[in-house]
Structure 1
Amino acid sequence: MNVHAPVPRAAARPARPWRPRRVLVTPAALDHAHGRAMVARVEALGLPVERLAGNRLTGLRHADPRRAYAEAKNILAIVVAPPTKLKLQPIPPSADWRVDLAEGCPAHCQYCYLAGSLAGPPVTRVYANLDEILENLRAYAGAGQITSVQDARAHEGTTFEASCYTDPLGIEHLTGSLSAAIRRFGAWRAPVSLRFTTKFAAVEPLLALPHARRTRIRFSVNARAAARYEGGTAPLPARLAALRAVALAGYPVGLTVAPILPVPDWAGAYDALFAEAAAALAGVPDLDLTAELITHRFTPGSKTVLEGWYPGSDLPMREGERSRKLTKFGSVKYVLPRDLMAEMRGRLTASLAARLPAARLLYWT
């Protein structure tokens, strides 16, 4: 088999790159070379830049949550990350540490995990002090207590997750931050690794980077019946084509199956997803593949935000059809019922093992 055979044109159709209607830049951001480079990138794309007089973003709130959402989702703000971003937090079960290159996402996912987590309107903020953010990681190498102490994952070294509060690939054409981070990890001679997950497919700028297999690129995928909940993202065939492309470029790769939903014929739907992924990865040499299976959950706060953003959504968020759980912080979340959760776990993990025997299942949650 020719592992370099081109993916059919239809499968490789990319999502349209995000073009924010407003680009705001703070004075402090222009004090950083990366901030100035991002301004040059967006101006080269013909996007007007508003240079702010101060370092605060103001005037972005509206009484109507739908209007606030619509306007904020069309704003890119080039800012300096606050000092709190340099105090890294563990991010179980994914990684030892969370590192934020940006905050906010251009996609329109009706189950958005950021709803209720971020303060204020969902503006996408990208950080100009990238060199400081990346240099700060050295203090955390060797200090992780999540993945680097697990026998099954210790070979990954200290792990840094870059997609907790953003989709870094979806904004890479505007920032260049992800490429810079991959280069930094590729040159870092230590047991460390970078990881991120994405719903986008524009991986071309990443393919030739000197990554030294220290960055794991995971694609967030779902059963086809869930596609209507993922507005503004690359279609599944394009994500799988991109998965193949980065695997052939030598990157460790992964599938983040999320959020797992009880769609009609869910067992067949997720089995078909794994079959499509297996076809996309067929013949890839030296494949290093992981899988993370994440079921849908919501909190009262996130439900309120999401219903304001997407008032016509039919995403199943009825508390009476869920199990109520308390987090370790004492807050409430609603997860799939216990019996359904157990059945889905058994069926989906068996399907994954049958369709993708090379995949290492990292966790089910």
Structure 2
Amino acid sequence: MLEPSRIYYEPAAAALPRGQAVLDRFPAAERVAVASHWNIPELHGDETNVRRWVRIKREALVLGVKKSLTARVNGRSADFIAPSTANGCAMACAYCYVPRHKGYSNPITVFANIEQITGYLTRHIRRQGTKPEPNQCDRDAWVYDIGENSDCSADALVSDNVRDLVALFRGQPTAKASFATKFVNRDLLDWDPRGRTRVRFSLMPGETAKLLDVRTTPVAQRLAALDDFAAAGYEVHVNLSPVVVEDGWLGRWAELFDALGDATAPATRDQLAAEVIMLTHNEGLHRVNLGWHPRAEQLLWRPAVQETKRSGNGGVNVRYRHDLKRRYLEQFLELLAAKAPYLRVRYAF
């Protein structure tokens, strides 16, 4: 997954204890000082890098300082988006939105000022008080997504930032952490989360994932991990995403729902819930993908059934046409209700 041969670092990050710990973890890696983790021409913004897309993710690592500490209101998957402790990913899912912000490969950036981040979160949680009423995020707790711009399971291979966050939320009776993952990192089973961290394992039919979920844990192994993470004290949910419409797509999802039921014990199914997210794609990422993974675009880029959508942050994306998306989603939810009636859907869009 990760074999860093070069670490780009902001000097301020390297001076912090967490930054030094990351450098010590990979002593053989070349060290390159940079002015900003956002502006590294060798990694970001150079179109020639598309040919080295996956290699950069495996071999490069970035150390930075998170300068803006805010908890953004969300309301869909979580009540708040926590300040990131990392950005980028070692995996290379063909539909991922994260590279749109930095461009091209976007390997893992670790933020070394973890004490500032956890201190901010502690104060933010305290200010919220007790959650006044249930919502789709959670019945009792304020939910903080701690992995919006990265995969926390992979981040844990690089630093102790995620472990520190799990420890923080372990002691927060009014809040819980949440993150989605496509990587099974069994080191997390020893962290004693005591029900205050929600792990959302992303699932899609295995054959589709082989094409689109590049460098991730196979779906069968993600299914096999659900009971173990529940037994270790995590709240376990699933992300059924992205839902990609292709020939035979409903049959493939039916097989996955059968496999989900077979893989989980009653205790896991009793606390399981799902998010359903239909595919959203992006023209810029489409062009990049054509340079390294054009087969994926045969599923992702289908102008005959897609329309332009402007996102909340101003980006221009494409999604299934409104009338088609409504029909596809209805078909999907009917299938889910028939095949996995135990699986509560927290939200679907």
Shared fold per TM-score greater than 0.5:
yes
* Partner residue in 1 for 2:190: 208
* Partner residue in 1 for 2:328: 344
For 1:155, what is the secondary structure of its paired residue? coil
Q: Where does structure 1 lack aligned partners over 5 or more consecutive residues?
A: 1-16
77, 81, 100: which one aligns with 1:94 = 77
* Partner residue in 2 for 1:357: 341
* Partner residue in 2 for 1:6: none
**Stretch moving more, 53-62 or 253-262:** 53-62
99, 122, 142: which one aligns with 1:138 = 122
Tell whether the 8 Å contact from 1:143 to 1:158 is kept in structure 2 after alignment. no
Whether 2:199 is the aligned partner of 1:217: answer yes
Letter in 2 for 1:352: L
TM-aligned CA deviation for residue 330 of structure 1: 5.5
- CA separation in 2, counterparts of 1:240 and 1:148? 34
Letter in 2 for 1:206: L
- CA separation in 1, counterparts of 2:305 and 2:125? 43
TM-aligned CA deviation for residue 329 of structure 1: 5.4
Letter in 1 for 2:273: T
| 1:266-281 → structure 2 map (5 Å cutoff) | 266-281=249-264
Q: Where does structure 2 lack aligned partners over 5 or more consecutive residues?
A: none
* CA distance 1:285–1:270, shift in 2 (3 Å): closer
24, 27, 39: which one aligns with 2:11 = 27
7, 10, 30: which one aligns with 1:50 = 30
* Partner residue in 2 for 1:105: 89
Tell whether the 8 Å contact from 2:143 to 2:177 is kept in structure 1 after alignment. yes
Letter in 1 for 2:196: R
- CA separation in 1, counterparts of 2:259 and 2:307? 31
196, 208, 232: which one aligns with 1:226 = 208
Higher RCO, 1 or 2 (CA under 8 Å, sep at least 6)?
Answer: 1
For 1:64, what is the secondary structure of its paired residue? helix
- CA separation in 1, counterparts of 2:124 and 2:21? 27
Letter in 2 for 1:247: A
148, 171, 174: which one aligns with 1:164 = 148
For 2:89, what is the secondary structure of its paired residue? coil
**Stretch moving more, 245-254 or 342-351:** 342-351
Tell whether the 8 Å contact from 2:169 to 2:176 is kept in structure 1 after alignment. yes
* Partner residue in 2 for 1:325: 309
For 1:342, what is the secondary structure of its paired residue? helix
- CA separation in 2, counterparts of 1:175 and 1:357? 39
TM-aligned CA deviation for residue 267 of structure 1: 1.5
- CA separation in 2, counterparts of 1:82 and 1:329? 20
* CA distance 1:239–1:335, shift in 2 (3 Å): same
TM-aligned CA deviation for residue 150 of structure 1: 4.8
TM-score, with normalisation over the residues of structure 1? 0.83
- CA separation in 2, counterparts of 1:54 and 1:324? 37
TM-aligned CA deviation for residue 265 of structure 1: 1.6
* Partner residue in 2 for 1:115: 99
Tell whether the 8 Å contact from 2:9 to 2:34 is kept in structure 1 after alignment. no
Letter in 2 for 1:52: V
- CA separation in 2, counterparts of 1:92 and 1:193? 14
Tell whether the 8 Å contact from 2:6 to 2:32 is kept in structure 1 after alignment. no
Tell whether the 8 Å contact from 1:199 to 1:219 is kept in structure 2 after alignment. yes
As a proportion of its length, which structure holds more helix?
A: 2
* Partner residue in 2 for 1:38: 22
TM-score, with normalisation over the residues of structure 2? 0.87
For 2:152, what is the secondary structure of its paired residue? coil
Identity %, equivalent residues: 25
TM-aligned CA deviation for residue 364 of structure 1: 0.8
Tell whether the 8 Å contact from 1:327 to 1:333 is kept in structure 2 after alignment. yes
Whether 2:281 is the aligned partner of 1:302: answer no
* CA distance 1:261–1:34, shift in 2 (3 Å): same
Letter in 1 for 2:32: L
* CA distance 1:315–1:151, shift in 2 (3 Å): closer
* Partner residue in 2 for 1:284: 267
Whether 2:217 is the aligned partner of 1:237: answer no
How many pairs were matched up? 340
Q: Deviations over 1:118-166 (max 9, x none)?
A: 356513201111121111112332667xx98653444342211122111
